[in-house]
Amino acid sequence: MSDPASIHPSATQISDKLFIAPQPSLTDFANLAAAGFKGVISNRPANEQAGQPSPADEQQGAAASGMSFHFIPVTASTITEADVRAFQNAVSEIAGPVFAHCKSGARAASLYAIGEVLDGRLAPQELPDLSSRWGVDLSIATKWLARNAERRPRVRGFFDPHTFSVQYVASDPATRQCAIIDPVLDFDEKSGSVATTSADAILRYVAEEKLTVQWILDTHPHADHLSAAHYLHGKTGAPTATGAHVVEVQKLWQSIYNWPELKTDGSQWDHLFEDGEDFTIGTIDARILYSPGHTLGSITYLIGDAAFVHDTIFMPDSGTARTDFPGGSAEQLWNSLQGILALPDDTRLFTGHDYQPSGRAPRWESTVGEQKTHNDQIAGVSKAAFIANREARDRSLPMPKLILHALQVNIMGGRLPEPESNGRRYLKIPIDALGDVAWGH
Ligand SMILES: N[C@@H](CCC(=O)N[C@@H](CS)C(=O)NCC(=O)O)C(=O)O
Ligand SMILES: [Fe+2]
pLDDT in tens, 394-416: 999 999 999 999 999 999 999 99
Interval between CA 330 and ligand 2 midpoint (Å): 14
At 150, the pLDDT band (50, 70, 90 cuts) reads confident
Tell me the C-alpha distance between 122 and 66, whole Å.
33
CA distance 168 to 183: 7
Annotated domain spans of the chain? 4-149, 152-396
DSSP secondary structure code for residue 343 in this structure: S
Which strands form 18-21's sheet, in the order they lie side by side?
A: 12-13, 18-21, 98-101, 39-42, 68-71
* Segment 238-243 mean pLDDT: 98
Q: How many helices (H) and strands (E) does the chain have?
A: 14, 20
Instruction: Kindly give the number of the ligand 1 atom that is closest to the alpha carbon of 400.
Output: 19
The mean pLDDT value for 262-279 works out to 98
Whether pLDDT at 7 is above 80? no
Distance 387 CA to ligand 1 centre (A): 18
- Is 101 a pocket residue for ligand 1 (Cβ < 6 Å)? no
Distance CA 198, CA 362 (A): 16
Q: Is the pLDDT of residue 3 over 80?
A: no
> Given a cut of 60, is residue 15 above it in pLDDT?
yes
Per-residue pLDDT, 412: 98
Confirm if 15 and 112 have CB atoms less than 8 A apart: yes
pLDDT value at position 264? Answer: 98
CATH 3.90.190.10 assigned to domain 4-149? The reply is yes
User: What distance, in Å, lies between the first and last C-alpha atoms of the chain?
Assistant: 48
Q: Is the CB of 401 under 6 A from ligand 1?
A: yes
- CA-nearest residue for atom 5, ligand 1, is 400
pLDDT of 242 over the 70 cut:
yes
How far does the centroid of ligand 1 lie from the alpha carbon of residue 400, in Å?
A: 6
| Confidence (pTM) | 0.92
Q: Is 322 in the pocket of ligand 1 (CB under 6 A)?
A: yes
pLDDT at 1 over 70: no
pLDDT of the residue at 200: 98
**Positive or negative, the Cα torsion across 133, 135, 137, 138?**
negative
* Overall fold of domain 152-396: Metallo-beta-lactamase; Chain A (3.60.15)
| Residue 171 buriedness (CB in 10 A; 0-12 / 13-18 / 19+) | buried
Q: Is 353 in the pocket of ligand 1 (CB under 6 A)?
A: yes
Q: What is the pLDDT of residue 151?
A: 85
Q: Which residue has the higher pLDDT, 51 or 419?
A: 419
Tens of pLDDT, residue by residue over 283-315, are: 999 999 999 999 999 999 999 999 999 999 999
